Amino acid sequence: MPLLCEVAVPVPLARAFSYEVPPALAASVRPGARVLVEFGRKKVLGVVLATSEGDAPEGVRLKPITAVVDPEPVLPGELLSFLRELSSYYFAPIGEVLRLALPAVEREDVRALEAQGELPGTLSRVKQVGGRKIAYARPTDAVEEPGVLRGQAASALALLRANGEMPIARLEEKFGNARAAVKKLASLGLVVVEEREPPRDAFFARPEPKDEPPALNEAQAAAEARIEGALSEAKPAAFLLFGVTGSGKTEVYLRAIAGCLARGRGAIVMVPEIALTPQLVSRFRARFGDDLAVLHSGLSESDRHAMWKRVRTGAVRVAIGARSAIFAPVTNLGLVLVDEEHDGSFKQEEGVRYHARDMALLRAHRASAVAVLGSATPSLESVQLARQGKLVELRLPDRAHREATLPEVTTVDLRRIGPGPTGNKLVSLPLHRALEKSLAAGEQAILFLNRRGFAPSVVCESCGHVATCLSCSVALTFHRARGGRMRCHYCDWEGPMPAACAECKAPSLALEGLGTERLEETIAEAFPAARVARLDRDVADGAKAEAILAKMRAGEIDVLVGTQMVTKGHDLGNVTLVGVLNADAALSLPDFRASERGFQLLVQVAGRAGRRDRPGRVIIQTRNPAQPAVQFAMRHDVSAFLEHELADRAEVGYPPFSRLSLFRVDALDEDVARRAAGVIAAHAKTSPEGQSRVVEVLGPAAAPLARLRGRYRFRVLLRSKDRRALRAATQVAAAAIPEIDRRVRVVVDMDPVAML
DNA sequence: AGCACGCCGACT
DNA sequence: GTCGGCGTGCTC
């Protein structure tokens, strides 16, 4: 019987394809190995999923595997089977899922294929990385005979001993003759030269001195003991580490990782997208040195590959990164940590829409590893899992530094309290006074406003018409930058500000509302002596944000104005005042999670106020001070909020008391999109689960953002308390997709987070 | 997703 | 008379 194999090919098709394995390749065709196969009439790179003995199924002529690319399978078995499960859970094509986890192809391997006479023109588009290596010189313990070394050799050795090790190229910058000097030192046994693929990454630019693990407080020690216990049993276990801001969660993580490494196992650490800062990485490096791979979006293809390989070979056992770190090929995985587990950025919102927090639980379970989800404001999903006993709750109730007091939180009712001297409604008198006071005391303030730009809308004063995007159903935001332009925050369209209203032609356009750009200006004018800076996506992407936060820490900024980005910076120096300009913006979104997210946001910004020695003050401005999220945030009562919100959710039957799957349907033509959504809904309703009403079919309905990038959007929501039933009905509805008009795009979103 | 095959308009 | 439009159907 011939040997067959299942190959996942990089096409958006749900299933894999069978190929015949030529006897010569039988030994190297193993699950997780990449192979070159003819697919259609082109050659593509696929991944072997499984092999089996058997005959070709009814009347298909199997093609043979052309060549095996990797001498060893690139994907460990544990990771490969995890990816297959992820693919089936999210209704995502296996090829797409594999692409998330696969490293680039090494040039060396491609050359080997070329040498075999397989010169696949199409493969040129595959990511390739070269095996360029860098020579490092490392000093040995040997001691030279006095007087043997002179000049550059002596200086180079001194420098090496001071730094530990250095790339020879770096030495050459200082000593023109470094290469010869190193050669001489090597011949004397004073240094060794090692060729390596270095992590050439900013996070590793300078060595980090080892830290001394601080003593744990009682709660930390108890939490650590529970995690340690689970690690030593080597059985799957999952924890929810519920610790208030500043309670020392990170130290518990560090201990848990150390415990994991001590047992010879590896760890994955996931943090929200914007939390992966040099500060955080420094902390991990201080404990684990270079036994750490930092996976982040700034990595070049070859850096990423180098990191990937170091993890895969076990040279590095701890991988830290944003959601995609869940795919790190850590061998003998013992621990998966998710910090700030409630954060929305763990859900991928395009392509394969996986939730990295959920997948962390899954992967850890399958690997018999320990999962730890940490947060000061846990998601309702996790809280509910804890109540069901599926997560073990560990509490850190106190701030690690006892003397640190919680900030005093007050609200300003925007309906009743008028503007301060600036005349702007969102800079209320109490906020203005508080700013004056903190500036006078030489302290810093943060003003949080969830709106970029200068003015959120451009309104005609004579007819009331609001300027909207031509391809999206949203108002255009006015940005002052570059001479004043209107921009769509959804499709990134940008155009000049017209002289007259598009509707009634009256030349009476007015800017309405307050964005961060205008707030920065308003504050700078009202407080001319203050150094005011702004932090949002318009002024800072990536590294620039870190630079602004660093200035804040250094005390070079008095008032920092910004969006979400200001809520994530830790240790922001001398901040004693935090102003939330408009809490309602986040709390009144048309989403059943708006209250939960708004609350998390309030707690997070409030956490930026106050230092060890000085209590902070938080002012929350809102049109509805009585709403629960605001009230519980004021009292710093996370548990009570969770309680309240859980009761609300139970009543309306939304997660975590049910599960959802969402079909997002869009097309250029409104009717075409609506009809397609109708077809999906009809299919879902005719499924056995739909008919028995075990699964509710809600919709089709126009999406809250009815038009985006010129496409009309509809949704069909499936809801059930029974996850199996939901899955089955989703499957039935998804089966309708191929029959739908090809001009329509349909995506299935399991466990959706962003409902817009 | 590609890439073919396949039937109807403006060009050498 | 052909080159080419993108509709639909398949890829082991």
E strands, A376-427, in order: 392-396, 408-413
CATH of the domain at A67: 3.40.1440.60
Nucleotide closest to residue A64 (CA–C1'): C12
pLDDT at A123: 52
Asked if residue A403 has pLDDT above 60, the reply is no
CA A286 to CA A209: how far, in whole Å?
A: 6
Asked if A560 and A439 sit in the same domain, the reply is yes
Asked if residue A673 has pLDDT above 80, the reply is yes
Alpha-carbon radius of gyration of chain A: 29
Asked if residue A751 has pLDDT above 80, the reply is yes
pLDDT at A128: 60
pLDDT at A499: 87
Asked if A431 and A480 sit in the same domain, the reply is no
Nucleotide closest to residue A37 (CA–C1'): C12
CA atoms within 13 A on the CB side of A747: 16
Return binding residues of A: 460, 463, 469, 472, 488, 491, 501, 504
Helix, strand, coil % (nearest 5) of chain A?
35, 25, 40
pLDDT at A710: 84
Asked if A463 and A376 sit in the same domain, the reply is no
CA A387 to CA A159: how far, in whole Å?
A: 57
The mean per-residue pLDDT over the stretch A34-43 comes to: 90
Asked if residue A118 has pLDDT above 60, the reply is no
Q: What is the pLDDT of residues A581-603, one digit of tens each?
A: 999 999 988 899 999 999 999 99
CA A50 to CA A113: how far, in whole Å?
A: 22
Q: Answer whether residue A211 is part of any domain.
A: no
Contacts of A698 (CB under 8 A, 6+ apart): A716, A717, A718, A719
The mean per-residue pLDDT over the stretch A453-459 comes to: 92
Position A342: which residue type?
H
Return binding residues of A for Zn(2+): 460, 463, 469, 472, 488, 491, 501, 504
**CB A112 within 7 Å, strand B:** no
Residue A373 Rama label (left phi>0; alpha psi -120 to 50; beta) = beta
Asked if A613 and A664 sit in the same domain, the reply is no
pLDDT at A61: 85
CA A69 to CA A62: how far, in whole Å?
A: 20
The mean per-residue pLDDT over the stretch A130-149 comes to: 76
Asked if A116 and A56 sit in the same domain, the reply is yes
Asked if residue A106 has pLDDT above 90, the reply is no
A336/C1 CA-to-C1' distance in Å:
69
Asked if A449 and A459 sit in the same domain, the reply is no
Partner residues linked to A33 by β-bridges = none
Asked if A522 and A615 sit in the same domain, the reply is yes
Asked if A508 and A530 sit in the same domain, the reply is no
Q: Answer whether residue A203 is part of any domain.
A: no
- Give the confidence band of A122 by pLDDT, cuts at 50, 70, 90: very low
**Kind of pairing, strands A617-622 and A575-580?**
parallel
Mean pLDDT, chain A, whole residue set:
88
A41/C2 CA-to-C1' distance in Å:
27
Asked if residue A200 has pLDDT above 60, the reply is no
Please give the DSSP secondary-structure letter assigned to residue A752: -
Q: Answer whether residue A331 is part of any domain.
A: yes
Neighbours of A409 (CB within 10 A): 21
pLDDT at A199: 56
Asked if A227 and A307 sit in the same domain, the reply is yes
Question: Of A544, A552, A606, nearest to A580 (Cα)?
Answer: A606
Question: Of A539, A521, A419, A515, nearest to A458 (Cα)?
Answer: A515
Q: How far is CA A134 from CA A193, A199, A208, A316, A526, in A?
A: 10, 10, 21, 18, 55
Of A128, A149, A178, the residue that ends a domain is: A128
Contacts of A380 (CB under 8 A, 6+ apart): A596, A642, A645, A646, A649, A655, A656
CATH of the domain at A184: 1.10.10
Range of the domain at A718: 659-750
Partner residues linked to A44 by β-bridges = A37
A463/C4 CA-to-C1' distance in Å:
50
Asked if A518 and A642 sit in the same domain, the reply is yes
0.95 exceeded by pTM: no
Between A2-11, A54-63, A696-705, A724-733, the lowest mean confidence (pLDDT) is in A54-63
Asked if A463 and A579 sit in the same domain, the reply is no
- Answer with the residue of higher pLDDT: A569 or A488: A488
Between A566-580, A689-703, A742-756, the lowest mean confidence (pLDDT) is in A566-580
Asked if A138 and A108 sit in the same domain, the reply is no
The percent of residues in chain A predicted with pLDDT above 90, rounded, is 54
CA atoms within 13 A on the CB side of A177: 11
Structural domain tally of chain A? 6
SS3 A236: coil
pLDDT at A540: 80
A748/B7 CA-to-C1' distance in Å:
35
Nucleotides of C under 7 A from a protein CB: 7-8, 10-12
- Give the confidence band of A402 by pLDDT, cuts at 50, 70, 90: low
Question: Of A587, A604, A631, A568, nearest to A244 (Cα)?
Answer: A604
CATH of the domain at A303: 3.40.50.300
